[in-house]
């Protein structure tokens, strides 16, 4: 089996589309908003939380969110696309929720990070299971 077929191989589960729709739509939307509202959600936000080179990092992350979110939505290279999304969520949790944990406690941190955890776990699920029955990955591997 070729390396590409191994990467594209996916489960036949039809319900994976629900996870793809949630994860893909949220990341696509967030990526677009980093360009529409850079002071609030892009470079400005990254500067506020102390990330290096926010003027570069904001558009960089936004581009990955748009690209990978779109790939997840259509189910193309789903496993590969989920890897940057996992990294983005791990960095987001580490940079924005550690301070909340230190100052406001565990439950406040958990409450404030519920979407972050959902996106992280959804992305991990897609990395493990692939794009599912209604994905381009599935169509490519069954031809």
Mean pLDDT per 10-residue interval, the chain, length 143 residues: 79 94 98 98 95 96 98 97 98 92 94 95 97 94 80
- Enter the tokens of residue 72: 């997840």
Is 62:34 a contact under the CB 8 Å cutoff? yes
The closest of 112, 118, 126 to 74, measured between CA atoms, is 126
Whole-prediction pTM value? 0.92
Q: Are 113 and 97 in contact (CB under 8 A)?
A: yes
Structure tokens at 33: 């908003």
pLDDT at 1: 59
119 touches 85 (CB < 8 A): yes
Q: Which two tokens stand for residue 35?
A: 């360009």
pLDDT at 142: 84
SS (H, E, C) the chain: CCHHHHHHCCCCCCCHHHHHHHHHHHHHHHHHHHHHCHHHHCHHHHHHCCCCCHHHHHHHHHHHHHHHHHHHHHCCCHHHHHHHHHHHHHHHHHHHHHHHHHHHCHHHHHHHCHHHHHHHHHHHHHHHHCCCCCCHHHHHHHC
Tokens of 2: 């070729």
């Amino acid at each position: 089996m070729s390396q590409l077929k191994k990467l594209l191989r996916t489960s036949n589960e039809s319900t994976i589309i629900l996870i793809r729709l949630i994860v893909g739509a949220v990341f696509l939307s967030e990526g677009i908003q980093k360009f529409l509202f850079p002071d609030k959600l892009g470079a400005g936000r990254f500067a506020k939380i102390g990330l290096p080179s926010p003027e570069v990092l904001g558009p960089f992350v936004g581009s990955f969110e748009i690209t990978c979110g779109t790939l997840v939505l259509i189910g193309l290279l789903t496993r590969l696309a989920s890897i940057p999304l996992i990294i983005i969520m791990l960095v987001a949790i580490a940079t924005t929720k550690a301070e909340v944990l230190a100052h406001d406690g565990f439950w406040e941190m958990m409450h404030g990070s519920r979407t972050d955890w959902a996106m992280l776990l959804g992305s991990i699920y897609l990395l493990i299971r692939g794009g599912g029955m209604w994905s381009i990955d599935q169509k490519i591997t069954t031809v």
